[in-house]
Amino acid sequence: MIAVDDIGRFGARALTDAATLNRREIDLAGDVRTMPEAAGILTEAPVDLMFSMVTASGGRCSWLRRLRDYAQSPHAVTDGQSWQPNRHNPRSHRKIATVCGAGSVGGFALAVIAREMSTATRDSSALPTAASTLDRSIFLATLRSVGVVVVLAAVALTHTAHLGAYGFAQGEMNEVHAVATPAAAPQTREEIAAEQRRARGQDLQPTEPGFVERTMLTLSNDRLMDRLFDPRHGFFVRVGLPVEGASFAAGPAWRASDAGRHYTFTASLVGSISREWLGELAVQIPDALPRLGRDRFFANVSISRSGRVSNEFWGLGNSSSKDDTTVFRLTQTVVGGTFGARLTPWLSVAGTAARLTPEIKRSESSTRATTKAFDESTAPGLVGQPTFFRPGITVDLDYRDSLPPTRTAVRLDPLPVAAASHGGRYQVNFASYHDRDFDQYSFRKTTIDLQQFVPLLHGYRVLAFRALAVLSDTSDGQVMPFYLSPTYGGLNVGRGYPTFRFRDRNLLALQAEYRYQLNGLVSAAVFVDSGQVAPRVGAIAWSQFKTTYGTGVRFGASGGAALRFDLAFGGDGPTFIFGLGHAF
């Protein structure tokens, strides 16, 4: 008795060692397999061995292995025209299994026949002896040869069965050749292109735009920028303050309007980085009396409360010292309206009436309070602020080419962000302030603002000039409040000096700017501002002018200035200015 690990392998020795084991009784004893299982294993062992030999030989051949692997892979052909990778083809697999099975059975049959023939050679006692020894040897050798041939044929048949199974259908045969053998070389140029197109058609993967592109597309398609800054109705962001010298400001707003914008009601609350603020309710009617003329008359009514938390004051006069800095807080309520007429596209006249209620308070700043440093004689209007009634009239002649439709412009509040390259704007305003409470602070103010633009090199260089005069006068016994005096210094006039640096009853400012476009989106400028405040018109003298100069860069289309960055010198020190729109 011997112990074996594998009764199947031992049983297969019936084929390989038939001569040794023939007519021997083998007693099998085991714990793992039942007797019927053991009998089955022993019966199939020779067949399995034969099949293993065949497939083992195939496995050693890498080509056949690839074929076998391919048959077992999901690749398959549908119509012989195109490849359908990663797709199971059950028909192909069934055929492969069938033919391989048939090949295996045939090979096994041949193997059994060979075995029987080999066995038969051992029973040579059935053959004649002595004289037929040579014949017997030849017979045995012939049988063995036939047996070997049969075995080899079985091997070949099994190999062929694999190949035949892979190429059973015409389309599949083509595919097999395509795997092991590329398709036949194209015969025409058109075939090359067609092959490329078919291949591309199999691998089309529509791409999605990236986040930035999707966002910008959404902004454009849904007009989100308009929605955010200038909708017909609803909440939006209001940008800018309609005040001379105001710094960058923004805040929430709400608008109601009909589809045709015949009227627009806006409620807004805006604050600036310089702690200026404005709360306003306004109604605008761009075409007030259409029956008397299309777009001829305009009107607006508003109620606003505004303020500047920290107003610096150095005292009245052109010679105020920068060391005498004080601050005060100013708020005012204005209720008023405007009614005007566009006489021509470039000439309009408007009348205004407003009730103005200013109020001066002590600022929370640590800087010395104006109320402590000054009194009524040095700062008229400091002690008490009356309510004013303010009628006025404005004549506006504007023939700059920055008006639509010639140049693009994005208007955010009334700030002029578009760029004029030629033309001019001449604006004159007469306003009268009537003190309703004290009868001490009534005055009249005349503002003359003349702007001229001279184009050079097709408008890619522009010389811009401005003369701004604010003249006031009072009747006997009246005085102009200091907080309503014209000023010099700030973001737009007297750049280089702090905002409202110089105050007095009269102002004359001259500005010149040389603007040059760098490209379609960026321009630069060199500027000079010069001006003076004075208590009387007669006191204005060129020798008293305060002059500053500087340079800047502006970002906006075609010389426009949606964003302006200036650096000014010559004032109280180098001053960096960030603003919206050109200074003028």
Partner 1 sequence: MRFDKVIAGALVAFLGLVAETRGAGPRFYADDPIAVDHDRLIDVTQAHKIDLDDYYDFLKNTFAAPGDHRKVHAVNVNTLDEVPDSSWFTNRIGVRAMSTRELVRGPNRNVRFGSAWTVVRGKNRGFSPGFRAIDRSDRTTTVYQLEVDPPAHPEMQTGAEVVGTAFYHAFGYNTVEMYLAEVDPAQLQIAPRAWIKDANGRRPFVQHDLDLILKNAARMPNGHVRVTAKLLDTDDDMGRFEYHGTRDDDPNDIYPHEHRRELRGSRVFAAWLNHDDSRALNTMVTRQRERGRSHLQYHIVDFGSTLGSATRFPNEAQEGHEYTLARRPSLLTLFSFGFYVQPWLRLPDPATPPAVGRFSADGFDPAAWVANYPKAAYDNMRADDAFWAARIVARFSDEAIRAIVRSGQYSDPAAVAVLADAIIKRRDRIKDVWLTAVNPIVNATLSPAGELRFENAAARFDVGGRPEGYALRWSRFDNVTDTHTPVGDEVVVTDTRAFAPSGVLEGSDYVSVRIETRHRRYPTWVPVRIYFRRTSDGWQTVGLDRGLDSGETSARRTNTPRHAAAGGS
**How far is it, in rounded angstroms, from Cα 309 to Cα 254?**
24
Residue closer to partner 1 (CB basis): 43 or 408? 408
Could you give the C-alpha distances from 392 to 186, 290, 513, in angstroms and in order? 88, 24, 31
Least Å distance between CB 368 and partner 1?
42
- Minimum CB distance to partner 1, residue 313 (Å): 37
Phi, psi of 209 (to 5 degrees): -65, 155
The stretches of 83-206 forming alpha helices (DSSP H) are 90-122, 133-166, 170-180, 189-202
The least distance separating partner 1 from the CB of residue 407, rounded to whole angstroms, comes to: 7
Helix boundaries (H) for 167-202: 170-180, 189-202
| Minimum CB distance to partner 1 smaller for 193 or for 243 | 193
Minimum distance between the CB of residue 103 and partner 1, rounded to whole angstroms? 13
With a CB cutoff of 8 Å and minimum separation 6, the contacts of 451 are 400, 420, 424, 425, 426, 464, 465, 466, 584
Rounded (10°) angle between helices 7-16 and 35-60: 70
Name which of 197 and 322 has its Cβ closer to partner 1: 197
C-beta closer to partner 1: residue 30 or 59: 59
Quick one: 155 or 249, whose CB is closer to partner 1? Answer: 155
Q: CA-to-CA distance for 550 and 326, rounded, in angstroms?
A: 27
Residues 6+ apart with CB under 8 A from 434: 388, 389, 390, 391, 442
Minimal distance, residue 236 CB to partner 1, in Å? 8
SS3 548: strand
CA–CA distance, 411 with 522 (Å, rounded to integer): 18
Nearest CB to partner 1, comparing residues 286 and 337: 286
Residue 170 has a CB neighbour count (10 Å cut-off) of: 10
Give the total residue count for the chain. Answer: 584
* CB nearer to partner 1: pick between 267 and 450: 267
The single residue listed with the structure tokens 């601050």 is 327
Of residues 85 and 520, the one with the C-beta less far from partner 1:
520
